[in-house]
């Protein structure tokens, strides 16, 4: 087993694109008002900002929600003839924008397009009474976009054009703190191309790779490579389907998303037992738990941990260990009717990896769901 730590691998990344973390994630959805209610009620996000007809935006409505350092934006077009409507028609509800918080949005655009990125938004400066935000954007896999957001001279609630969103309905938070990683699914033979794109265009490094021999079940397989920026604040694992006896979950995603896109968003908590207990009580649906034997074998596989195994078992939480520590994780069912985007809840206790030891248990649970949809 390799003794190179993630910190050492990450140190090889190039720093022409300094990133301070995830700025926000924007979803294009069919009904942003109802989606916002779901994320407030079920996940405990708080109302932050709004843009729409009442604030002078004529063609769309956007609701911005916040919890910990996580900001999500839910946007719907108000007319059928609109790029957002086209996006929703093809992909269903899904992630359009993975926005990165940078120190210089103009330089981020220049450095990435110079290295071959396709432009989505030429650098521009947006201003209001709270200051200015500089913003630019490039396309990544599928129709997904990385925006670069520079907000050092801005004190408003979100971005110019948005008003603070005051609301009397404010369910409590569930302990979600920050985005740990966002995973993309790409098509056949597209993983290495995408990995090279992150290396060349973004200066990222490949910190972890899994092939189809490591990630497989009786029926299906996939390949995955994790890309990270230089400080480890931005991690984008990339999955590609692999040949198996039956259709893999990645193929099911690609079929129903009608293209490449974001498969899951992993959000971190400091207390996964409390967070998942709360999410379940509020109606968030999780993948079916692994078989009993998974927990029977846990002491042997993982060794000493702080949590009681009975409590983890009651909630179906998975545990994995690497050289640096352990992590606890659980996956929701897709959060829309198409079997596409889902969430991961993760608590890291030293481990910087992604739960490879759980892949088999996880994918067998995914396949049980897939079979129930008639898509296996
Ligand atoms: Fe993940």
Q: Residue 168 C-alpha to ligand 1 middle, in angstroms? A: 34
Q: Residue 24 C-alpha to ligand 1 middle, in angstroms? A: 18
pLDDT at 96: 98
Q: Are 223 and 140 in a shared domain? A: no
Q: Are 101 and 218 in a shared domain? A: no
Q: Residue 268 C-alpha to ligand 1 middle, in angstroms? A: 11
Q: Residue 217 C-alpha to ligand 1 middle, in angstroms? A: 18
Does residue 11 lie within any of the structural domains? no
Q: Residue 57 C-alpha to ligand 1 middle, in angstroms? A: 35
Q: Residue 124 C-alpha to ligand 1 middle, in angstroms? A: 33
Q: Residue 181 C-alpha to ligand 1 middle, in angstroms? A: 7
Cα radius of gyration (the chain): 20
In our burial notation (b when 16+ CB lie closer than 10 A, e otherwise), range 43-79 reads bbbbbbbbbbeeeebeebbbbbbbbbebbbbbbbbee
Q: Are 220 and 150 in a shared domain? A: no
DSSP per residue, 293-348: HHHHTHHHHH---SS-HHHHHHHT-EEEEETTEEEEEEEBPPSSSSS--EEEEEEE
Q: Are 101 and 127 in a shared domain? A: yes
Q: Residue 163 C-alpha to ligand 1 middle, in angstroms? A: 33
Task: Convert the pLDDT of each residue in 139-150 to its tens digit.
Answer: 999 999 999 999
Q: Residue 353 C-alpha to ligand 1 middle, in angstroms? A: 9
Q: Are 311 and 339 in a shared domain? A: yes
Mean pLDDT of 167-181: 96
Q: Residue 127 C-alpha to ligand 1 middle, in angstroms? A: 36
Q: Residue 328 C-alpha to ligand 1 middle, in angstroms? A: 11
Q: Residue 184 C-alpha to ligand 1 middle, in angstroms? A: 10
CATH number of the domain encompassing residue 362: 3.10.180.10
Q: Residue 332 C-alpha to ligand 1 middle, in angstroms? A: 11
Q: How confident is the model at residue 162 (pLDDT cuts 50, 70, 90)?
A: very high
Residues 6 or more apart in contact with residue 196 via CB below 8 angstroms: none
Q: Residue 318 C-alpha to ligand 1 middle, in angstroms? A: 12
Q: Mean pLDDT, the chain, as a whole number?
A: 93
Does residue 9 lie within any of the structural domains? no
Most confident of 147-151, 165-169, 354-358, 369-373: 147-151
Q: Residue 237 C-alpha to ligand 1 middle, in angstroms? A: 8
Q: Residue 166 C-alpha to ligand 1 middle, in angstroms? A: 33
Q: Residue 183 C-alpha to ligand 1 middle, in angstroms? A: 6
Q: Residue 254 C-alpha to ligand 1 middle, in angstroms? A: 17
Does residue 329 lie within any of the structural domains? yes
Q: Are 160 and 33 in a shared domain? A: yes
pLDDT at 31: 98
Q: Residue 30 C-alpha to ligand 1 middle, in angstroms? A: 26
Does residue 69 lie within any of the structural domains? yes
Global pTM reads 0.94
Q: Are 123 and 188 in a shared domain? A: no
Does residue 339 lie within any of the structural domains? yes
Q: Are 149 and 211 in a shared domain? A: no
Q: Are 300 and 192 in a shared domain? A: yes
Single residue among 126, 141, 164 that ends a domain in this structure: 164
- Does residue 238 carry a pLDDT above 70? yes
Mean pLDDT of 179-190: 96
Q: Are 185 and 139 in a shared domain? A: no
Among 38-47, 173-182, 243-252, 297-306, the range scoring the smallest mean pLDDT is 243-252
Q: Residue 73 C-alpha to ligand 1 middle, in angstroms? A: 21
Report how many domains make up the chain.
Answer: 2
- Residue 183 bridge partners (DSSP): 264
Single residue among 124, 141, 164 that ends a domain in this structure: 164
- Does residue 362 carry a pLDDT above 80? no
Q: Are 216 and 140 in a shared domain? A: no
Among 165-169, 284-288, 291-295, 365-369, the range scoring the smallest mean pLDDT is 365-369
Q: Residue 39 C-alpha to ligand 1 middle, in angstroms? A: 20
Q: Residue 123 C-alpha to ligand 1 middle, in angstroms? A: 31
Does residue 5 lie within any of the structural domains? no
Among 3-12, 87-96, 188-197, 276-285, the range scoring the smallest mean pLDDT is 3-12
Single residue among 123, 138, 164 that ends a domain in this structure: 164
Q: Residue 59 C-alpha to ligand 1 middle, in angstroms? A: 34
Task: Convert the pLDDT of each residue in 33-91 to its tens digit.
Answer: 999 999 999 999 999 999 999 999 999 999 999 999 999 999 999 999 999 999 999 99
Tell me if 36 sits within 8 A of 127, measured CB to CB. Answer: no
Q: Residue 362 C-alpha to ligand 1 middle, in angstroms? A: 11
Q: Which residue would you say has higher pLDDT here, 362 or 298?
A: 298
Which residue segment(s) compose the domain that 150 sits in? Answer: 19-164
Residues 6 or more apart in contact with residue 354 via CB below 8 angstroms: 181, 208, 226, 237
pLDDT at 1: 45
Q: Residue 165 C-alpha to ligand 1 middle, in angstroms? A: 31
Task: Convert the pLDDT of each residue in 262-281 to its tens digit.
Answer: 999 999 999 999 999 999 99
Q: Are 184 and 149 in a shared domain? A: no
pLDDT cut 90: percent of the chain above it: 78
Does residue 172 lie within any of the structural domains? no
DSSP per residue, 82-133: SHHHHHHHHH-SEEEEEEEEES-HHHHHHHHHHTTPPEEEEEEEEEETTEEE
Does residue 287 lie within any of the structural domains? yes
């Amino acid at each position: 087993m390799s003794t190179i730590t993630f910190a050492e691998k990450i140190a090889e990344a190039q720093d022409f694109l300094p990133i301070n973390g995830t700025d926000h994630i924007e979803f294009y959805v069919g009904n942003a008002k109802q989606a916002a209610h779901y994320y407030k009620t079920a996940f405990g996000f708080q109302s932050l900002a709004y843009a729409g007809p009442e604030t002078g935006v004529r063609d769309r409505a956007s609701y911005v929600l916040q919890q910990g350092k996580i900001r999500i934006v839910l946007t719907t077009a108000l007319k059928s003839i609109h790029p957002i409507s086209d996006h929703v028609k093809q992909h269903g509800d899904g992630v359009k924008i993975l926005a990165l918080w940078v120190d210089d949005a103009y330089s981020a655009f220049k450095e990435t397009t110079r290295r071959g990125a396709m432009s989505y938004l030429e650098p521009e400066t947006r201003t209001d009474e709270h200051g200015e935000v500089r913003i630019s954007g490039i396309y990544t896999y599928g129709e997904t976009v990385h925006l670069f957001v520079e907000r050092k001279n801005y004190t408003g609630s979100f971005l110019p054009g948005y008003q603070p969103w005051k609301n009397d309905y404010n369910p409590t938070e569930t302990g979600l703190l920050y985005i740990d990683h966002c995973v993309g699914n790409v098509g056949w033979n597209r993983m290495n191309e995408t990995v090279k794109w992150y290396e060349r265009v973004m200066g990222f490094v490949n910190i972890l790779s899994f092939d189809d021999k490591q990630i497989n079940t009786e029926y299906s397989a996939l390949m995955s490579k994790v890309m990270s920026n230089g400080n480890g604040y931005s991690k984008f694992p990339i999955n590609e389907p692999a040949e198996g006896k039956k259709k893999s979950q990645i193929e099911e995603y690609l079929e129903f998303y009608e293209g490449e896109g974001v498969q899951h968003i992993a959000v971190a908590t400091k207390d996964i037992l409390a967070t998942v207990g709360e999410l379940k009580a509020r109606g968030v649906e999780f993948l079916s738990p692994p078989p009993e034997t998974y927990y029977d074998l846990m002491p042997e596989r993982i060794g000493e941990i702080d949590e009681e195994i009975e409590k983890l078992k009651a909630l179906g939480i998975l545990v994995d260990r690497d050289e640096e520590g352990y992590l606890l994780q659980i996956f929701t069912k897709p959060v829309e009717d198409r079997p596409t985007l889902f969430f991961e809840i993760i608590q890291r206790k030293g481990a910087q990896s992604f739960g490879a030891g759980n892949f088999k248990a996880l994918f067998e649970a995914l396949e049980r769901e897939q079979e129930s949809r008639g898509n296996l």
